[in-house]
Amino acid sequence: MASIAENLKEVLERISAAARKSGRSGADVRLVAVSKTHPASVIMEAYQAGHKIFGENYAQELKEKSAQLPQDIEWHFIGALQTNKVKMVIDKTAMIHSLDRVSLAQEIEKRATKPVPVLIEVNLAGEETKSGVAPNEVERLIESVRNFTKIEVMGLMTMPPFFDDPEMARPYFARLRELRDELAKNTGLKLHELSMGMSGDFETAVEEGATIVRVGTAIFGERRGKRG
Ligand SMILES: *Cc1c(COP(=O)(O)O)cnc(C)c1O
């Protein structure tokens, strides 16, 4: 089996190749290594291979692991965030990918000690099992939070329906980019960031304009246990 360092190198090379296809460079795309369910020792292996950006889905896990690991790690919160867990993670989080309601923004506004970059999670396919706001409600959410002093809306995040063939996900990635362009025009905000693409489809996402990909399995291997 390949080591985490080798997996990381390969994922970064694949990101670069896909970025070049869309006229960009690998440096235009940030890799969030999704470490949910994996212990701190495994994250440390990736850190020692030079990687500093990790994504977690559960507040308790982020809190515990960030306490055990180097301070210069950039933690991204990518899972559904319960309002009562905000205070547990807010000062450890470089970016929240899953803003989906005003009440969550209000709690962040109340608890954060400095401005927090956030992405609005969009549920493009209207799947009931997934969180995220409907495409036609994103603008209203942005307008509701844009004057908050601790919320910086940097862009959009999505998780398309699962397909075996990444080409099937391409229209969703293209749609998120188009929605971003539309919202940037309507709101006057830059909304630069597009967080889209996972282990099975990150190259397609990069070709369609992803600025952040969230990759777990292709770096750390299969997750065990019921979560994730
Ligand atoms: C688990 C997870 C990922 C990573 O998924 P892989 O298929 O393991 O790469 C990315 N984004 C979110 C929101 C996740 O929950």
Atom number, ligand 1, closest to the C-alpha of residue 34: 4
Residue nearest to atom 7 of ligand 1 (CA): 199
Residue nearest to atom 12 of ligand 1 (CA): 78
Which pLDDT belongs to residue 225?
64
β-sheet bridge partners, residue 194: 156
Q: Which one-letter amino acid corresponds to residue 196?
A: M
Which pLDDT belongs to residue 143?
98
Which pLDDT belongs to residue 53?
98
Atom number, ligand 1, closest to the C-alpha of residue 220: 8
DSSP state of 133: B
Which pLDDT belongs to residue 226?
47
Which pLDDT belongs to residue 192?
98
Ligand 1 geometric centre to CA of 111 (Å): 27
Ligand 1 geometric centre to CA of 161 (Å): 12
pTM of this structure: 0.97
d(CA 5, CA 7): 5
Pocket (CB within 6 angstroms of ligand 1): 34, 36, 57, 78-79, 159, 198-200, 214-218, 228
Tokens representing 33 are 């290594």
Ligand 1 geometric centre to CA of 154 (Å): 20
Atom number, ligand 1, closest to the C-alpha of residue 32: 10
Atom number, ligand 1, closest to the C-alpha of residue 198: 9
The pick from 62, 78, 127 for probing ligand 1's pocket by mutation, whose C-beta has the most ligand atoms within 8 angstroms, reads 78
* pLDDT tens per residue across all 228 residues of the chain: 789 999 999 999 999 999 999 999 999 999 999 999 999 999 999 999 999 999 999 999 999 999 999 999 999 999 999 999 999 999 999 999 999 999 999 999 999 999 999 999 999 999 998 899 999 999 999 999 999 999 999 999 999 999 999 999 999 999 999 999 999 999 999 999 999 999 999 999 999 999 999 999 999 999 986 454
What's the distance, Cα to Cα, between the start and end of the chain in Å? 22
Which pLDDT belongs to residue 123?
98
Which pLDDT belongs to residue 172?
98
Which pLDDT belongs to residue 224?
80
d(CA 133, CA 131): 7
